[in-house]
Amino acid sequence: MRKFIQIFILVLVLAIFLPRFIEVLFKAPRQNANVSHSEVHDEFMVQASKNKEIFYFKGKDENLSLEEYLDSLPFSFYTYLITNNRFPYDEWKDANAIKANSQKFAIKPDAFNQKYPPIFTIFESNPKYLRLGYNEFAITSNKFELIFTDLNTLKKDENLSKTFTNSLLNLGFDFPVRAHFTNPSTKKPFDEGVFLKDSKSELFHLKIKNNAPVAKKTDIKNVDFMLISENERREFYGAVIDRSGVSLVSYDDYKLINLPSKHYGPTTDRLELTITPLSKSMSIKKQNEVHAYHFDEKYNVLKSFEYEFNQPNRAEMIKKAILPFEISLADSYDYKFKITNFSLNSLWLNLALFVLAFFIFRKKSLVKPIFALLFGIYGFLAVLAV
């Protein structure tokens, strides 16, 4: 029995490290691509790289020089173009005006996958000196209330806790808090507080203004994630992700603005929204391709574009052919593992290794070949080693 336990442990170890070894041994050339919408050409521009060499395209086929690429995206490279008197829009030859009418944010897989501790803070949204400063309290919660803890004394502030808790209870908030979404940075023009999901999965908005709570109930429910993006344009609070996809949360009574989400997987893909004075666009960057969209003022899709930049490499093909599954980290920041990439293609190899193991161990053990049948190459290597 002890030997079989050792074999099983070795199977698990091999399932973690053998896929990584194959990836290193058959490493494919590194490829990448970014897609942006050009106001100048009303076309999608591609910046692609392979083995540290960079290429520029208009659409999928028309090659561009670096200077032509920069000229095609004036609101991305406005400092350089204005300085060199090449900026194409005279009415926007002002860096401050461009900044005031632009917005860009991205939802990265790490942000969506991360587990956040149940502690947060919010800032005074109407600061005395027009500059955000750190508060002297942290906020947690229990089954009945918000708890404001003074960071100087580490004691509960009874007055703040009661006042802010009541502001939520009066709107029908049902404790405990299931999730909080905030932007805990002072390097932003103003603070929109925190969005709280209650036990009924309803979303509430809580701010501090003049040291008093400002609480509102939204009609948004069942949110999995929210990214807050405070911007002087004040068009939307940020973006929410739920089962139906990704949407912007409008300043117009928290109405949702649905974005194209057919190709978006938040656990693996990067979503980037870009707003300039003359256009709105979005890109979804997947492992092997980029999907891009150009919107009108109301986020209706005017044009869409797809660019493939990475074909399946040898390492992936080899893994699918010989590995029955892989074990990998569920989170990059936590030692939790998950079983992924089950491959039916490896069943033939499992059978072949079972037969081979049977002939090798038929006089010693009839159990060892079963490991090769169940765990494929992992089981076969494990029984040979133990």
Mean pLDDT of 141-145: 95
Percent of the chain with pLDDT over 90: 69
- Domain range summary for the chain, segments of one domain joined by +: 2-27+314-385, 31-100, 103-275
Separation of alpha carbons 103 and 274, rounded Å: 6
Mean pLDDT of 199-218: 95
pLDDT at position 333: 54
Which of 38, 112, 31 lies closest to 81 in space, CA to CA?
A: 38
pLDDT at position 286: 93
Q: Which helix (H) or strand (E) holds 135?
A: none
* pLDDT(311) > 70: no
pLDDT at position 176: 95
pLDDT at position 312: 62
Q: Which helix (H) or strand (E) holds 99?
A: helix 95-100
Separation of alpha carbons 41 and 31, rounded Å: 26
The values of phi and psi at residue 331, to 5°, are: -135, 140
* Token pair of 89 as six digits: 């829009």
Which of 300, 251, 261, 313 lies closest to 283 in space, CA to CA?
A: 261
Average pLDDT, the chain: 91
Q: Predicted confidence band at 56 (pLDDT cuts at 50, 70, 90)?
A: very high
CB of 253 closer than 8 Å to CB of 240: no
| 34-48, 99-113, 181-195, 304-318: least confidently modelled range | 304-318
Percent of the chain with pLDDT over 70: 97
Q: DSSP labels for 268-298?
A: T-EEEEEE-SS-EEEEEE-SSEEEEEEE-TT
Q: Following CA atoms 72, 77, 79, 82 in sequence, which dihedral angle do they give, to the nearest 10 degrees?
A: 0
pLDDT at position 332: 56
* pLDDT(171) > 80: yes
Neighbouring-strand partners of residue 297: none
* Token pair of 12 as six digits: 């698990």
Mean pLDDT of 359-371: 85
pLDDT of 121-134, one tens digit each? 888 887 767 678 77
pLDDT at position 23: 86
Separation of alpha carbons 303 and 150, rounded Å: 52
Q: Predicted confidence band at 267 (pLDDT cuts at 50, 70, 90)?
A: very high
pLDDT of 247-260, one tens digit each? 999 999 999 999 99
* pLDDT(32) > 70: yes
* pLDDT(180) > 80: yes
pLDDT higher for 150 or 136? 150
* pLDDT(210) > 90: no
Q: What is the largest CA-CA distance in the chain?
A: 87
Mean pLDDT of 105-132: 85
**Maximum average pLDDT range among 1-15, 84-98, 302-316:** 84-98
pLDDT at position 84: 96
Q: Predicted confidence band at 235 (pLDDT cuts at 50, 70, 90)?
A: very high
